[in-house]
């Protein structure tokens, strides 16, 4: 990556007041980008709000000689997402990179989850990815229609919970799985406008994972600091990755894995219509010959 590639580029990072988003914002700023630091300033469950976290990150960036602006809009709303993108374009003169990272947790087993707990998590993660991406995509499309070239990137944040499953997180996992699907489709649609769309699936020790024993156990032997994920995000937004789109990269300390999506396994065909009785004779063997689903570590159990 060229040393000055991010100089004068404009980057928006959502959920950038803490954890992964903060690390990404600081890394982009250190590389020379102007950064809009978005954070509603609420708790890990999405409650409350404050300008403090976003402004603190901006203060860190400016103290180091970088350029940044704080934004506290709610990206789970249509108007909030638009205001965020507009602030980048109007305040810094354009938009080159969007990192969708905002998220909350309201973990609960399915039998106990409330409608509000489901709606809040889906809104922040899934709609909070769609909204900024939708308004950014419109900006880039209008540029392309005007004959201006784009060298732009969207990097979304999915999770092993959404890709491989995690009990107690049907809301969070469903949203994160949706983000992975959104990434693949948005990549197909936006390529024509000079925009790549990829996602990271990080395992990191942040305030969202601080009370998860499995993460603390892993952190005893693996460096799960949030800033260890940021180099992958910068690479996906950099010149070497201009032909990379529609991909999900898992980042676990020093390990990077390409997450391979759903694909057909064993198949069976019938010229006539299937009946439950006929399926009794074929589906058990078909399923027995299929590779097992990956476990929570992202690896398939040994057969």
Catalytic residue numbers? 159, 172, 176
- As to burial, measured by CB atoms within 10 angstroms (0-12 exposed, 13-18 middle, 19+ buried), residue 79 is exposed
Question: Each residue of 120-158: b (16+ CB within 10 Å) or e?
Answer: bbbbbbbbbbbbbbebbbebbbebbeeeeebebbbbbbb
180 closest CA partner among 193, 194, 162, 166:
162
96 Cβ contact list (under 8 Å, min separation 6): 9, 10, 11, 33, 151, 152, 153, 237
Query: Could you report how far apart the first and last alpha carbons of the chain are, in Å?
Result: 41
Q: For residue 5, how many other CB atoms are within 10 A of its CB?
A: 17
Measure the CA–CA gap between 40 and 54, rounded to whole angstroms: 8
Q: How many residues appear in the chain?
A: 303
- How far, in Å, are 22, 196, 219 from residue 14 at the CA level? 9, 18, 25
In angstroms, how far is CA 228 from the centroid of its own chain?
15
């Amino acid at each position: 990556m060229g040393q000055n590639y991010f100089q004068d580029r404009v980057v928006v990072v959502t959920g950038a007041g803490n954890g992964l988003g903060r690390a990404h914002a600081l890394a982009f700023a250190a590389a020379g980008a102007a950064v809009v630091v978005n954070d509603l300033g609420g708790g890990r469950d999405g409650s409350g709000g404050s300008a403090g976290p976003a402004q603190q990150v901006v203060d860190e960036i400016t103290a180091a000689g970088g350029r940044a602006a704080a934004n506290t809009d709610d990206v789970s709303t249509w108007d909030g997402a638009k205001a965020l993108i507009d602030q980048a374009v109007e305040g810094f003169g354009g938009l080159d990179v969007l990192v969708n990272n905002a998220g909350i947790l309201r973990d609960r087993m399915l039998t106990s989850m409330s409608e509000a707990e489901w709606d809040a998590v889906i809104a922040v993660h899934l709609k909070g990815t769609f909204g900024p991406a939708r308004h950014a995509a419109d900006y880039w499309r209008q540029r392309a229609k005007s004959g201006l070239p784009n060298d732009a990137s969207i990097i979304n944040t999915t999770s092993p919970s959404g890709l491989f499953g995690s009990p107690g997180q049907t809301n969070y996992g469903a949203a994160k799985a949706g983000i992975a699907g959104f990434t693949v489709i948005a990549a197909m649609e936006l390529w024509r406008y000079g925009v790549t769309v990829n996602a990271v699936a990080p395992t990191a020790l942040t305030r969202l994972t601080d009370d998860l024993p499995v993460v603390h156990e892993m952190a005893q032997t693996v460096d799960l600091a949030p800033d260890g994920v940021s180099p992958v995000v910068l690479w996906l937004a950099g010149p070497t990755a201009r032909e990379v789109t529609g991909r999900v990269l898992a980042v676990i300390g020093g390990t990077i894995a390409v997450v391979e999506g759903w694909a057909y396994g064993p198949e069976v065909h019938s010229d006539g219509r299937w009946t439950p009785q006929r399926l009794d004779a074929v589906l058990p063997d078909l399923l027995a010959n299929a590779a097992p689903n990956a476990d929570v570590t992202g690896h398939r159990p040994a057969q």
